[in-house]
Structure 1
Amino acid sequence: MRRGISAVAMAAAIVLGATACGGSSDNKSTGDAAKDPAGVSGDITYWDTSDATNEAPVYQSLIKDFMAKYPKIKVKYVNVPFSDVENKFKTAAQSGKGAPDVVRADVGLIPEYASNHYIAPLDGTAALKDTGDFTQGPLNTTKYEGKTYGVPSVTDTLGLLYNKELFAKAGITKPPTTWDEFISVSKTIKDKTGVTGTYVNPDTYFLMPLLFGEGTDLADAAAKKITINSPEAVKAVTKAKEIYDTSSAKVDFASAYDNMQTSFKNGKVAMLIQGPWSVSDDISGSAFKGKESNLGYAPVPAGSTGKPQAPTGGHDLAVYQGSKNLDASYLFTEFMTSSASQVTIATKTGTLPTRTSAYTPAVTADPKIAGFKSIMDTARPRVALAQVGSLFTPLQQQYVKILQGQVSVQAGLDAAASEFATLLPGFTK
């Protein structure tokens, strides 16, 4: 998932990044991680952002296995709440004090961390091994300006989740493959069952499939052009507004996500655009509890391009550029993202692996993983800009106004584009 930061914080990050202590020449790798892994020694700290109750014990167990394999390396495990890690890591990296050697980073933050020299390029290091085994979507999230700054750990994307029983009652035999079909199916379900088609999530991360479906994004990095108010983006958001007006339950903008989840899992709406992280909650509701097979999985509907596409999410492991034990950090990163480790993580936590070889029969026995495995083929990364996280904030403000009818689609996106221009110097509109 993505998060944005303010323009002020972003400006501070850029200024401080130029003087961050992460690039010290005293911290270069000796190459021993590749030449003599067993001889590598040192103490490293790992910041993990996984769920402290249900997922962290799995990672802690793997760390014990790592230290058994490399007895000269000691790993200090720290679980940092996902909501806190971005600011904590940036503060530590900017000051050169207290940063972990390895951090579990949201994929959307890799470009920002790389541009500010907080994390080390990993090409040619022991951290990157068997890269051909990684699925392409997650691997693409690790790139910035031609270099690799992360190693894919777990992945996710958005898909279409639907209630099979409601579909059957409405006489619908397959999930919609286009947004127009999505609207039509919603109407049919409402007419035949009385149940509303969907619940629109007003968070702009969930708008990305509609933008991608029209062949556009927030901006074009190569052309240095802001595209959020392009004709393609206007078409995408116009369709989102149509879905909101014709097919959605009434949205409580103050508690949209929780109300969306409650509506779907209790059978009050038939479809959601959602990710695999929601499934454990979905199957706790009356519509799916004890009958998990009632939960259907499909790619997001396609727009005019004919291609269903949604953003690649998940987490990459990144190595702090100021680490005093780079070789140990590289070995740790490789071990924790290996196929064997990913099988362990997937079978015990239900998260999706990033390696093709990790999709073993034991892993795909999980209906959620099996359901999203093929959907991951439709995933694509967000535009690789250091400021990408901050772009969502002005877009969010305008998108809510558009959905509520306070501004037109074009006016709202033009306003967002003007805000983008202050965050993307040198970009044209």
Structure 2
Amino acid sequence: MRKLSFLLAALLLLSACSNLSAGSGSAPVELTFYSSYDGKEAELVQSRIKMFESENPNIKVNVKAVSFSSDSFKTALLGDQPVDLFRSDNSWVPELASLGLLYPIENMISADDRKDFVPSALRSDEFESHLYGLPTVMESLALLYNKKLLQENGFAQPPKTMEELKTMSKALKTANRYGIYVSDNSFYALPYIWAFGGGTMTDDRQVEIAQPASVEALKFMRNLIVDGAAQPYPDFSDSYNVMMSDFKEGRSAFMINGPWAVSDLLAGAQFKDASNLGIAVIPTGPKGDTGSPAGGHSLVISKYSKHPKESYALIRYLTSTESQLLHTKELKSLPSRNSAYQDEQLMSDPIVQGFKVQLDAAKPRPLIPEGAQMFTDFTPNLVQILTGQQSAEAGAKKIEAAWRTLLGLDK
């Protein structure tokens, strides 16, 4: 299927014509924006689009609601549907760019804008020396903790090391509470793997998941459960919601999660006082390593847009400092522009600043077309490791074999 998709994309590229209209004619330029936003976020983005239209009366933006999936964008383009811009997960950018579906914007972005974006955020939108998007928000996993629970049990500070995390989690265990929820989602395993000095895939297509350090991290995650430091449940049924509800209600003291969870957490019984929510960097491993995946979303332009200049004007507007500050203050998201963090309200916000510290140590996921698919075989094998159905060594070997096939390394 990939070869077929690539062929179709190539044919479309040959037949497409690029009209770099400046939008100065009498007829308004119409842009089609494939939007996967929902809820408050959708309302906020729609209000900013209306402001953009009022400031640019010759540009009309048609918003089409779609599911948050790269397939929505690919299917539309391969079906010759009109699409000008799209919200992309950063991990999709290398694949979409490799298929020839994105418009490069490195000649559009100003030097000041390039400097203002957080480097790791902008780096996520690069592929083979081209820039393909502007990041709207940043995401990174951090250690979230319940300050009151720690203080009541004699802990003045969150754990600095993985061993301290294990020790504190065991000490916090009672009949109705446990230490940390260990997620079965392999995305949430990345901080453990990097803390132990391990790796997954690299930008030069090396597979590191079966290396000794990576295996030790997987063993540590399993041992958190076996040794009573983590959740006592026999399986991972409805795991994300269970992790969130346990933390919100005080049944757990720690979890690893990202800024997207904050709005929900602040509605929980334990965090109606937002100051009780602690944000700490991921604890270090045996040799002092740490790390967290640098993720987020970006706005990208279709290679086949007839109005790339106007499309760029819109994505720049939606990723401006003003837009990001509105987004952050409403939804507790993390801006991708350095200037936004200088805002007086954000500078005094311990949640935003707590995640910002973690972002400074964040690592990009592999910037290869197959990078977004790495979790497909990772997660089911991780579940078997965490439930004791297979050893960490055996699971890592299976993941390694699947990734080597995915990357075509054994051909």
TM-score range, shorter chain: over 0.9
User: What secondary structure, in the 3-state scheme, does the structure 2 residue paired with 1:27 have?
Assistant: coil
The amino acid of 2:402's aligned partner reads E
- Measured against aligned partners, the alpha-carbon deviations of 1:331-381 in whole angstroms (never above 9, x if no partner) come to 111111122221222223322110010121134455432332222212111
Task: Please tell me whether the aligned partners of residues 226 and 427 of structure 1 are also in contact (alpha carbons under 8 angstroms).
Answer: no
Cα distance change, pair 93–127 in 1 and its aligned pair in 2 (3 A): farther
User: What secondary structure, in the 3-state scheme, does the structure 2 residue paired with 1:17 have?
Assistant: helix
TM-score normalised by the chain length of structure 1:
0.88
User: What secondary structure, in the 3-state scheme, does the structure 2 residue paired with 1:313 have?
Assistant: strand
Cα distance change, pair 303–94 in 1 and its aligned pair in 2 (3 A): farther
Residue 5 of structure 2 corresponds to: 16
Residue 297 of structure 1 and its aligned partner are, at CA, apart by 0.7
Task: Please tell me whether the aligned partners of residues 22 and 321 of structure 1 are also in contact (alpha carbons under 8 angstroms).
Answer: no
Cα distance change, pair 41–378 in 1 and its aligned pair in 2 (3 A): farther
Task: Please tell me whether the aligned partners of residues 150 and 318 of structure 1 are also in contact (alpha carbons under 8 angstroms).
Answer: yes
- Measured against aligned partners, the alpha-carbon deviations of 1:140-190 in whole angstroms (never above 9, x if no partner) come to 211112221111111111011101111011111111121111101112222
Is 1:294 the counterpart of 2:296 in the alignment?
A: no
Task: Please tell me whether the aligned partners of residues 282 and 292 of structure 2 are also in contact (alpha carbons under 8 angstroms).
Answer: yes
Which residue of 27, 32, 43 maps to 2:30? 43
Is 1:272 the counterpart of 2:255 in the alignment?
A: yes
Residue 187 of structure 1 corresponds to: 170
TM-score normalised by the chain length of structure 2:
0.92
Which residue of 22, 27, 42 maps to 2:17? 27
Residue 214 of structure 2 corresponds to: 233
Residue 335 of structure 2 corresponds to: 353
User: What secondary structure, in the 3-state scheme, does the structure 1 residue paired with 2:365 have?
Assistant: coil
Task: Please tell me whether the aligned partners of residues 189 and 195 of structure 1 are also in contact (alpha carbons under 8 angstroms).
Answer: yes
Is 1:74 the counterpart of 2:60 in the alignment?
A: yes
Cα distance change, pair 424–17 in 1 and its aligned pair in 2 (3 A): same
CA distance in 1, matches of 2:111, 2:238: 41
User: What secondary structure, in the 3-state scheme, does the structure 2 residue paired with 1:411 have?
Assistant: helix
Cα distance change, pair 195–410 in 1 and its aligned pair in 2 (3 A): same
Task: Please tell me whether the aligned partners of residues 104 and 130 of structure 2 are also in contact (alpha carbons under 8 angstroms).
Answer: yes
Task: Please tell me whether the aligned partners of residues 152 and 316 of structure 1 are also in contact (alpha carbons under 8 angstroms).
Answer: yes
Cα distance change, pair 294–126 in 1 and its aligned pair in 2 (3 A): closer
CA distance in 2, matches of 1:297, 1:46: 35
User: What secondary structure, in the 3-state scheme, does the structure 1 residue paired with 2:8 have?
Assistant: coil
Task: Please tell me whether the aligned partners of residues 29 and 327 of structure 1 are also in contact (alpha carbons under 8 angstroms).
Answer: no
The amino acid of 2:231's aligned partner reads A
Cα distance change, pair 382–286 in 1 and its aligned pair in 2 (3 A): same
CA distance in 1, matches of 2:24, 2:318: 15
CA distance in 2, matches of 1:88, 1:127: 30
CA distance in 2, matches of 1:22, 1:119: 12
The amino acid of 2:49's aligned partner reads I
Residue 292 of structure 2 corresponds to: 310
Task: Please tell me whether the aligned partners of residues 278 and 351 of structure 2 are also in contact (alpha carbons under 8 angstroms).
Answer: no
Cα distance change, pair 242–330 in 1 and its aligned pair in 2 (3 A): same
Is 1:58 the counterpart of 2:44 in the alignment?
A: yes
Percent identity among equivalent residues? 32
Residue 170 of structure 1 corresponds to: 153
Task: Please tell me whether the aligned partners of residues 262 and 332 of structure 2 are also in contact (alpha carbons under 8 angstroms).
Answer: no
CA distance in 2, matches of 1:38, 1:189: 68
Task: Please tell me whether the aligned partners of residues 202 and 400 of structure 1 are also in contact (alpha carbons under 8 angstroms).
Answer: yes
Task: Please tell me whether the aligned partners of residues 122 and 128 of structure 1 are also in contact (alpha carbons under 8 angstroms).
Answer: no
Unaligned stretches of 5+ residues in structure 1? 1-11
Matches within 5 A, 1:13-412: 13-20=2-9, 22-24=12-14, 26-28=16-18, 30=20, 42-50=29-37, 52-82=38-68, 85-95=69-79, 97-126=80-109, 130-190=113-173, 195-222=177-204, 224-246=205-227, 247-251=229-233, 252-289=235-272, 291-359=273-341, 360-412=343-395
- Measured against aligned partners, the alpha-carbon deviations of 1:37-72 in whole angstroms (never above 9, x if no partner) come to 99996211112222x221112111111121122221
Residue 8 of structure 1 corresponds to: none
Unaligned stretches of 5+ residues in structure 2? none
User: What secondary structure, in the 3-state scheme, does the structure 2 residue paired with 1:418 have?
Assistant: helix
Cα distance change, pair 419–325 in 1 and its aligned pair in 2 (3 A): same
Task: Please tell me whether the aligned partners of residues 182 and 301 of structure 1 are also in contact (alpha carbons under 8 angstroms).
Answer: yes
CA distance in 2, matches of 1:171, 1:410: 37
Residue 416 of structure 1 corresponds to: 399
CA distance in 2, matches of 1:421, 1:346: 39
The amino acid of 2:45's aligned partner reads Y
| Aligned Cα root-mean-square deviation (Å) | 2.4
CA distance in 2, matches of 1:232, 1:37: 59
User: What secondary structure, in the 3-state scheme, does the structure 2 residue paired with 1:249 have?
Assistant: coil
Is 1:425 the counterpart of 2:408 in the alignment?
A: yes
Cα distance change, pair 305–119 in 1 and its aligned pair in 2 (3 A): farther
CA distance in 2, matches of 1:37, 1:369: 41
The amino acid of 1:234's aligned partner reads V
Residue 29 of structure 1 and its aligned partner are, at CA, apart by 5.7
Residue 324 of structure 1 and its aligned partner are, at CA, apart by 1.3
